[in-house]
Amino acid sequence: MIKKLLVTGASGFLGWNVCRAASRKYSVIGVRNNHDADLPGVTFVKCDLTQYTSLKALFQTTRPDAVIHCAAISSPNTCQQHTSEAYKVNVTLSSSIAGLCSERDIPLVFTSSDMVFDGTEAPYDEGGIVCPVNVYGQQKVAAELEMQVRHEQLAICRLPLMYGDVPACATSFIQPWIKQIRAGEKISLFKDEIRTVVSASDAAAGLIIALERARGIIHLGGKERVSRYDFGLKLIDAMGLSSEVAAPISQKDIKMSAPRPADVSLNSSKAFSIGYSPGLIKEELLKLNCIKG
Ligand SMILES: NC(=O)c1ccc[n+]([C@@H]2O[C@H](COP(=O)([O-])OP(=O)(O)OC[C@H]3O[C@@H](n4cnc5c(N)ncnc54)[C@H](OP(=O)(O)O)[C@@H]3O)[C@@H](O)[C@H]2O)c1
């Protein structure tokens, strides 16, 4: 039985949401590094996980029964610009955690991404051919492969673009949009970037289900396939504003360090069959504190 759950990346957007959800059921130890975080019922520990001796000592002192690994360099542009630094976190650290979980014989959930795909053959199920178009996606593929070799009790959860409430030191893609909208600015959103977007609280519930019931690769997408522009219209509607606040643009209109796949929608039937049940975007948006005035 899982009692003590170690969550890495606990000061980040998703890890914080995982800690919040898991603390209803488990004794949760959240690992942070540069940023502080706070949640009732969660014990936070500071550790630079890329220092192997510190990582090993963390496992020895906390003696977890299970791990959900959310720590990462999660910005594709940062990975593109600082490839070797990102590799240490996204690949080497993930592999080390798989090794330590194997030594303790405990289950591990890894947070991978829909960006392992090139975006030309969506929707993708778990058997889809991986072919990343940017360094971030390449590092997720490398981590998936290394971790699978080192540990059998592993669920690799491929996540889509996520939105939600955040801790003070983290963000999701909607916080800058909300800030701009509230400042009276118009937001320009991609019409040709399609994702099966999901709320972080639904994704967190999915990660916990995967921890308890899944092994191997599992997709945790949302139920709707939307462009960023269409998602933006739902957000603006949930904020009670007019759709004129958003303007549709195309990926080619903005130059970014990391190329981005056009449509990496996930087919998440496997997860749906074991109890993962994300809500509809409009309903999930209305639950968020960040959109309330
Ligand atoms: N956000 C999305 O839409 C999305 C989509 C698909 C997949 N994912 C995946 O989901 C996971 C979580 O993403 P996120 O958006 O929550 O990321 P995030 O907000 O950028 O948080 C990253 C976390 O990693 C921690 N971290 C980084 N380097 C560390 C180190 N050396 N030692 C210890 N902790 C370290 C950070 O700690 P400090 O800040 O305290 O330093 C922070 O808590 C990642 O694996 C990401 O690739 C995210």
Q: Determine whether the shortest distance from the Cβ of 71 to ligand 1 is under 6 A.
A: yes
Pairing status of strand 198-199 against strand 162-163: parallel
The amino acid sitting at 41 is G
Tens of pLDDT, residues 168-224: 999 999 999 999 999 999 999 999 999 999 999 999 999 999 999 999 999 999 999
Q: Determine whether the shortest distance from the Cβ of 287 to ligand 1 is under 6 A.
A: no
Instruction: Kindly tell me if the per-residue pLDDT of 293 is higher than 80.
Output: no
Q: Determine whether the shortest distance from the Cβ of 13 to ligand 1 is under 6 A.
A: yes
What integer pLDDT is reported at residue 1 of this predicted model? 77
What pTM, to 2 d.p., does this model score? Answer: 0.98
The alpha carbon of 83 and the centre of ligand 1 are apart by a number of angstroms equal to 16
Residues with Cβ within 8 Å of residue 37, at least 6 apart in sequence: 10, 11, 16, 19, 30, 44, 167, 168, 169
Tens of pLDDT, residues 246-263: 999 999 999 999 999 999
What integer pLDDT is reported at residue 10 of this predicted model? 98
Mean pLDDT of the chain: 97
For the chain, what percent of residues have pLDDT higher than 90?
98
Q: What CA–CA distances, in Å, run from 205 to 9, 222, 272, 274, 275?
A: 16, 12, 12, 12, 10
Residue 2 — very low, low, confident or very high, per pLDDT cuts 50/70/90? confident
211: exposed, middle or buried (Cβ count in 10 Å: 0-12, 13-18, 19+): buried
Q: What token pair was written down for 141?
A: 């593929």
- Residues 82-103, mean pLDDT to the nearest whole number: 98
What integer pLDDT is reported at residue 47 of this predicted model? 98
Three-state secondary-structure class, residue 188? strand
Which ligand 1 atom is the nearest neighbour of the CA of 161?
3
| Torsions phi, psi for 186 (to 5 deg) | -85, 140
The alpha carbon of 69 and the centre of ligand 1 are apart by a number of angstroms equal to 9
Residue 230 — very low, low, confident or very high, per pLDDT cuts 50/70/90? very high
Which ligand 1 atom is the nearest neighbour of the CA of 136?
47
Domains detected in the chain:
4-163+198-223+265-272 (3.40.50.720), 174-194+226-263+280-286 (3.90.25.10)
Instruction: Kindly tell me if the per-residue pLDDT of 147 is higher than 80.
Output: yes
- Residue 31 has a CB neighbour count (10 Å cut-off) of 26
- 275: left (phi > 0), else alpha (psi -120 to 50), else beta? left
- Residues 153-169, mean pLDDT to the nearest whole number: 97
Annotate 91-120 with three-state secondary structure. HHHHHHHHHHHHHHCCCEEEEEEHHHCCCC
Residue for token pair 């550790």: 47
Q: Determine whether the shortest distance from the Cβ of 130 to ligand 1 is under 6 A.
A: no
Least confident piece of the model among 142-146, 148-152, 289-293? 289-293
Q: At what angle do helices 52-62 and 94-104 cross, to 10 degrees?
A: 30
142: exposed, middle or buried (Cβ count in 10 Å: 0-12, 13-18, 19+): middle
